[in-house]
């Protein structure tokens, strides 16, 4: 399957990753009995909502300006990278979380890792320093999510 993405489509994909992540965490929260774990998963969903809004604002700015001023990729390498990610991850569709907390956490860690890989490729295409910083901030938050999820997984496995 061959994909070619515009900057606007790449931001749309990023927003969809975040929407999918928020939905995953909310669905997972419904399946756990612990109020503490429920609140933890809901807080992760809310963070994903915030990331989606950041990408929406970037997309809005892109629509108001010449798209070439916001996204660069002279050799097409970042675009090829994102194409490879899309080919292998099918736009990061999140599976429904399992019923067991360990399954939920393991699946969430994998999804967060995939998101980071996508955003690293996306960042290579962004020209604007402020937009690069926004993507860096989101990457750091996603890395923090992995840390939190890994800690919960360790607690669950003991």
Give the lowest-confidence range in 39-48, 50-59, 122-131.
122-131
Does 144 or 68 have the greater pLDDT score? 144
**3-state SS track over 35-54:** HHHHHHHHHHHHHHHHHHHH
pLDDT band at residue 134 under the 50/70/90 scheme: confident
Summarize pLDDT for 61-79 with one digit per residue, the tens. Answer: 877 775 554 555 556 666 6
Half-sphere exposure of 15 (CA within 13 A, CB side): 14
Coil, strand, or helix at residue 51?
A: helix
pLDDT band at residue 14 under the 50/70/90 scheme: confident
pLDDT for the residue numbered 39: 96
Summarize pLDDT for 80-133 with one digit per residue, the tens. Answer: 666 666 555 544 566 666 778 888 899 889 888 888 888 888 787 777 788 888
CA 141 to chain centre: 10
Does residue 51 carry a pLDDT above 60? yes
pLDDT for the residue numbered 5: 59
Does residue 2 carry a pLDDT above 50? no
Q: In sequence order, what are the beta bridge partners of 126?
A: 71
Q: pTM for this one?
A: 0.76
Ramachandran quadrant class, 29 (left: phi over 0; alpha: psi -120 to 50; beta: rest): alpha
pLDDT for the residue numbered 55: 85
Q: Which of 27, 19, 16 is nearest to 48 (CA)?
A: 19
- State the CATH architecture for 7-157: Up-down Bundle (1.20)
Q: Phi then psi for 4, rounded to 5 degrees?
A: -135, 120
Query: Where are the chain's structural domains?
Result: 7-157
pLDDT for the residue numbered 53: 94
């Amino acid at each position: 399957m061959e994909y070619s993405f515009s900057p606007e489509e790449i931001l749309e994909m990023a927003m969809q990753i975040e929407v999918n992540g928020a939905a995953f965490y909310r669905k997972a929260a419904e399946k756990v009995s612990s109020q503490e774990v429920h609140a933890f998963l809901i807080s992760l969903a809310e963070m994903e909502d915030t990331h989606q809004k950041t990408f929406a604002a970037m997309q809005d700015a892109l629509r108001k300006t010449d798209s070439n001023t916001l996204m660069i990729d002279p050799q097409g390498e970042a675009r090829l990278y994102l194409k490879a990610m899309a080919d292998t991850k099918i736009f990061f569709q999140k599976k429904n979380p399992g019923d067991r907390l360990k399954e939920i956490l393991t699946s969430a860690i994998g999804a967060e890792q995939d998101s980071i890989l996508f955003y690293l490729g996306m960042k290579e295409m962004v020209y604007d320093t402020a937009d690069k910083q926004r993507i860096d901030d989101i990457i750091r938050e996603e890395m923090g999510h992995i840390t939190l999820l890994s800690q919960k997984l360790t607690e669950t496995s003991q």
